[in-house]
A and B are shown apart, each in its own frame.
Chain A
Amino acid sequence: MKAPLSIICELTHRCPLRCVYCSNPLELAARSLEMTTAEWAATMEQAAELGILHAHFTGGEPLARPDLNAIVAAARRAGLYSNLITSGIGMTEARLDSLLEAGLDHVQLSFQGRDELQADEIAGTRSHAYKLKVAEWIRSRRVAFTVNLVVHRRNLDELAELIAFCASLGPQRLEIANVQYYGWALENRAALMPTRAQMERSVEIVESAKRALADKLRIDFVPPDYYGSQPKACMGGWASQTLIIDPAGRALPCHAAGVLPGLKFDSVREKPLRWIWTDSPAMNKYRGDDWMAEPCRSCERKTVDFGGCRCQAYLLTGNAANADPVCALSPHHELVKSIAAAESTPTCATTAHVVDPTSISPRAEAAGKSPGWVYRIFNSPPGIPKADAAQANAGRTESCEQPATATTTH
């Protein structure tokens, strides 16, 4: 069994932001269940022994872990290349320097926009101004620096300006990712889905920017999913290139796999990482092609895109072994097309309206701009499904055909 290239370490699900596009699961791991420093250090050793080369530290917000330095140091001791994927909230100059001292190789800093009001609305927290400071600290140190930008219907019309803004922060790389509809992003899909025109235009803008900035900035672009006719080779194949360790130590093939029924994901607290990767039933479930239904089973592209995303197949068709309905050959493809068309009108909004008195969204709401986002509620008890949390706060729901201004009282 070939070793994965990378391990994604979700150190915590705690986060000072609540981005409306977040693909974290709706039910978050409790802090009390988080792996200890020693457990993460042992996992780094096992990862290196397995042949993994890259360790990505993410969350939630990895800076929420006071022992982050120690975990990064453990990765470096084990010989892994370490990458920090962060909002920047919780960073200070001193902390950055100590992380670099501990051996951190690469920092990815997210930006939700170029305008403070809009960015903070997407992040669900006042954060943009602080991120600008963090960007300058990173830029001024000798460390690989990537800016992460998530794009969607609300910001794609200013993509060229956004790229220029991100370039001005001084990174070597820019990752532009279209929203992937899992977790909170799925809840907010109706407010995030780009129009077809936006999608097509964005491809042109990115190609043009790549040429114009060729000697200054490397741009990686993840195109939107629902407009394709061929599905993405999700994660490079089920349990092939990467594995994820969640805050409680569960090993998953991807962020969303927790939604799949009937799968037990083993924990590194209980089983060796090598066994989990090579022999565990969950990691082997969708490897190879024995599990494939038609049309994937007979398709010449099955070794190219692996039938697309299992989680998306489950979420949209009810069966994880089906072809990802993004594929034009899927009998469910019309469903994806109709969702994309129905949920990408300019006034389309989410179907639930969540209110949090500490949220900044009421301010944007008053300006008539907010579509009514579904925000994660800070400090909600772990394990409470989003639906119950939403009901605790929301009024009546509205369909997305109605203008946002007609949404409910709360």
Chain B
Amino acid sequence: MTLAPNVKLALAVGCRLREVEGQPPVLLMPEAVLRLRGAGAEIVRRIGNGRTFAELLGELHAAFPEAGERLDRDTEEFVRRLHEKRIIEITA
């Protein structure tokens, strides 16, 4: 099932992105950390501030024009996985 373009995405309560110069970004949450690389880091950086899924994809395509069609599928899969882990909230 495809994520509707106008669903809003946000980091779940207690989840915080930590970025330190010279180090890979880390997602901090209760009793766990998620070390982010590459595309995952780019996605999480853009989650929040009431951004919709469509807006997220738009920004990613603009930043990575060479990524092509795979970007939509891969982004949705990543967002869904983090939603299952209760790291990302999805609201209509």
Contacts and interface: CB of A to CB of B under 8 A. Distances in A.
Interface of A: 5, 53-54, 79, 81, 83, 105-106, 142-146, 172-173, 218, 220
B31 A220 contact: yes
B28 A54 contact: yes
Contacts of A5: 33
25 contacts: A5-B33, A53-B26, A79-B18, A81-B18, A81-B33, A83-B30, A83-B31, A105-B14, A105-B16, A105-B30, A106-B14, A106-B30, A143-B13, A144-B13, A144-B14, A144-B29, A145-B14, A172-B12, A172-B14, A172-B30, A172-B86, A173-B30, A173-B31, A218-B86, A220-B31
By DSSP majority rule, is chain B's interface helix, strand, loop, or mixed? loop
A14 B66 CA distance: 60
A220 B33 CA distance: 16
A367 B20 CA distance: 59
B30 A146 contact: yes
A252 B71 CA distance: 47
B13 A142 contact: yes
Q: Which 4 A-B pairs rank lowest in CB-CB distance, beginning with the nearest?
A: A144-B14, A81-B28, A106-B30, A144-B30
Nearest to A173: B30
A220 B29 CA distance: 15
A107 to B, nearest CB: 9
Contacts of A83: 30-31
Interface hub of B15, B18, B30 (most chain A Cβ within 10 A): B30
Contacts, number: 42
A53 B33 CA distance: 8
Given A105-B30, A172-B30, A172-B86, 17 more contacts: A53-B28, A54-B33, A79-B18, A79-B20, A81-B16, A81-B28, A83-B30, A83-B31, A142-B13, A143-B13, A143-B14, A145-B14, A172-B13, A172-B14, A173-B30, A173-B31, A220-B31
Interface residues of B, number: 14
Interface of A is mostly: strand
A281 to B, nearest CB: 29
Most chain A CB neighbours (cut-off 10 Å) among B12, B13, B20: B13
Nearest to A146: B30
B51 to A, nearest CB: 18
Contacts of B86: 172, 218
B19 to A, nearest CB: 9
Contacts of B15: 144
A105 B33 contact: no
Nearest to A103: B16
Contacts of B12: 172
A210 to B, nearest CB: 13
Contacts of A53: 18, 26, 28, 33
A407 to B, nearest CB: 40
Contacts of B20: 79
A105 B33 CA distance: 13
Interface string B29-48: 11101000000000000000
B58 to A, nearest CB: 27
A238 B15 CA distance: 28
Contacts of A143: 13-14
Contacts of B14: 105-106, 143-145, 172
A170 to B, nearest CB: 11
A145 B29 CA distance: 11
